[in-house]
């Protein structure tokens, strides 16, 4: 095809279909990911039916969002990663502008300004930023000398910091945290030097007291309550106390699907959104939880494998960040529901009832599939 002194890049030629996975790959769909995601989502719909108090309409609308998310995922998988890299500056700028617009024109919901009314639907620009952030950081670091030098690092930090701050003042601490994590993970995979990581951790620790004064009252309460949930069992600690009761009473085998009392009798607040993991644990027990965590581990693991096989820095950083952010998602939500972490508004991926997070998550997996299926033959 080409001389040995040249590196030639040739788009992968169509190959005989030898398996179902290979057949799917022709449509840029990754078999392992799609099976695990579908299993996860199906599980989520069942739990949602129970957690919502047998609301078929909620399950239906969640199903619709799931379908939309899958369509978006498959659509995004069709585009080659290079397209995302090229679009990165535009995507990032658009998300940033929308965030600013939200701050100025956004809709209030539950005391926070997160929504932008687009006429046909309400839209959370912070969800767009969740995707734009790893793309932008990965694209920014792509082709630069890695690990990044000080100037690059500072520029990257600014790229991460501005949107994080904009989301945090909405205030939506949970999403801000995830956007921050997505950016920092891309930086981490970019080979950020350990001394700076340690330095940042040290500085962060020192800044904690300062941060305390910047928190809203309800956020401070959440932290205090996290440290001692029984401090105010009927007030701020109620969520976590009831959640632990739900989980603990589930036991090894659970009370059975639809038999959880904590959610059905309204003791568990937010049972179909942020605290749906407690319902799941109550009804399906430790064995069910192990199944759930295994599925998550498979998804994350597959994401990391795809990242490892990424063909350039952009692909690797983006894939690694997407996969690990997904894990952080799971960890923050379950940790919070178990009482290991303070209460932060982070949904359980693919299970919690809610629109944009489902779509943005599946969009992320669409890009992972794009990385996996748009491989080019590299020859030296």
Partner 1 sequence: MNVPRPPGRGDSSSLGRGARGPIALLNTSFESMKNLHEEKQAFTTRVWIAAIGCLVMLSILVMRMTDLQVLEHDYYSTRADDNRMRLVPVPPVRGLVYDRNGALLAQNVPAFVLEITPEQLPGKLDDTLARLGQLVRLTDVDIARFRERMRKTPHYRAVALRSNLSAEEVARYEINRYDFQGVDVTAGLLREYPLGTVASHVVGYVSGITDTDLQTIDEASYQGLNQIGKTGIERSHEDQLRGQPGNKIIEANAGGRPLRELDYQQGHAGQNLYLTIDSKLQTTAEAALGELDGAAIAIDPRNGEVLALVSKPGFDPGPFVEGIDGDSYRALLEDPDRPLYNRALLGTYPPGSTIKPFMAAAGLIAGTLNPATKIFDPGYFQLPGVERKYRCYWRQGHGWVDLNLAMTKSCDVYFYQAALNMGIDRIDDVLGAFGFGHLSEIDIPHEKSGLLPTRDWKRRVYRQAWFPGETLNTGIGQGYLTVTPLQLAQAAARMAMRGAGFKPHMLHAIEDPATHNITAIAPEALPRVEAKDRGVFDRVIEAMELVMQPGGTAYAVFKDAPYRAAGKTGTAQVAGLKQDETYAPKLDATPKLLRDHALFIAFAPVDDPRIAVAVIAEHAGHGGTSAAPVARAMIDEYLLGKVLYNAPNTPLAPVVVETIPDEDSDDENPDAGGAPLPPDQPKPGDDASAVPP
* Closer by beta carbon to partner 1, 73 or else 240: 240
Between the alpha carbon of residue 26 and those of residues 30, 188, 350, 366, the distances in Å are 9, 32, 25, 14
What's the angle, vertex CA 276, arms to CA 274 and CA 280, rounded to 5? 155
The β-bridge partners of 8 are 379
SS3 378: strand
- Should residue 345 be labelled a site residue for partner 1 when binding is judged by CB under 8 A? no
Interface with partner 1 in residues 78-107 (CB under 8 A): 82, 85-86
Q: Which stretch binds partner 1 (CB under 8 A): 59-67, 125-133, 261-269, 367-375?
A: 261-269
Q: Where are the alpha helices (DSSP H) in 251-338?
A: 261-264, 276-308, 313-338
The β-bridge partners of 11 are 376
- Should residue 340 be labelled a site residue for partner 1 when binding is judged by CB under 8 A? yes
Residues with Cβ < 8 Å from 269, sequence gap 6 or more? 238, 239, 242, 275
- Should residue 266 be labelled a site residue for partner 1 when binding is judged by CB under 8 A? yes
Least distance between partner 1 and beta carbon 140 (Å): 9
Is the separation of the CB atoms in 190 and 148 below 8 Å? yes
- Should residue 51 be labelled a site residue for partner 1 when binding is judged by CB under 8 A? no
Least distance between partner 1 and beta carbon 172 (Å): 23
* Closer by beta carbon to partner 1, 72 or else 330: 330
Is the separation of the CB atoms in 239 and 336 below 8 Å? no
* Closer by beta carbon to partner 1, 7 or else 158: 7
Terminal C-alpha separation, the chain: 11
- With CB under 8 A as the contact rule, the residue among 17, 101, 149, 161 that binds partner 1 is 149
* Closer by beta carbon to partner 1, 8 or else 64: 8
**Contacts with partner 1, residue ranges (CB under 8 A):** 6-9, 82, 85-86, 139, 142-147, 149, 185, 188-189, 191, 193-194, 242, 244-252, 261-262, 265-267, 281, 285-286, 289-290, 293, 297, 300-301, 304, 307-308, 313, 316-317, 320, 324, 327, 331, 334-335, 338-340
């Amino acid at each position: 095809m080409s001389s040995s002194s040249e590196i030639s890049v040739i788009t992968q030629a169509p190959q005989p279909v030898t398996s179902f996975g290979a057949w799917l790959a022709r449509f840029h769909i990754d078999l392992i990911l799609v099976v695990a995601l579908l299993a996860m989502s199906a599980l989520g719909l069942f739990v949602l039916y129970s957690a919502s108090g047998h609301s078929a309409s909620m399950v239906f609308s969640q199903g619709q969002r799931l379908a939309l998310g899958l369509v978006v995922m498959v659509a995004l998988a069709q585009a080659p990663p290079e397209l995302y890299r090229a679009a990165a500056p535009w995507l990032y700028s658009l998300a940033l502008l929308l965030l600013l617009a939200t701050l100025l024109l956004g809709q209030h919901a539950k005391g926070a300004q997160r929504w932008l009314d687009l006429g046909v639907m309400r839209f959370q620009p912070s969800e767009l930023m969740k995707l734009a952030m790893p793309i932008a950081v990965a694209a920014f670091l792509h082709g630069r000398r890695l690990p990044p030098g000080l100037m690059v690092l500072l520029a990257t930090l600014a790229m991460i910091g501005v949107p994080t701050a904009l989301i945090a003042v909405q205030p939506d601490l949970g999403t801000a945290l995830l956007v921050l994590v997505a950016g920092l993970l891309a930086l981490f995979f970019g080979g950020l030097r350990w001394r700076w990581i340690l330095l940042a951790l040290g500085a962060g620790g020192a800044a904690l007291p300062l941060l305390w004064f910047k928190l809203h009252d309800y956020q401070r309460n959440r932290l205090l309550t996290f440290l001692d949930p029984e401090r105010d069992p009927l007030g701020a600690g109620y969520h976590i106390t009831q959640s632990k009761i739900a989980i603990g009473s589930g036991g090894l085998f659970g009370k059975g699907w639809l038999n959880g009392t904590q959610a059905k009798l309204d003791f568990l607040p937010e049972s179909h959104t942020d605290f749906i993991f407690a319902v799941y644990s109550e009804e399906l027990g430790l064995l069910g939880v192990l199944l759930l965590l295994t599925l998550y581990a498979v998804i994350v693991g597959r994401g990391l494998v795809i990242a490892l096989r990424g063909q350039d820095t952009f692909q690797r950083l983006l894939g690694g960040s997407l996969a690990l952010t997904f894990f952080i998602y799971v960890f923050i939500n379950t940790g919070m529901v178990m009482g290991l972490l303070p209460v932060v508004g982070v949904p359980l991926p693919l299970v919690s009832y809610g629109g944009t997070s489902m779509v943005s998550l599946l969009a992320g997996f669409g890009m992972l599939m794009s990385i996996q299926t748009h491989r080019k033959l590299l020859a030296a």
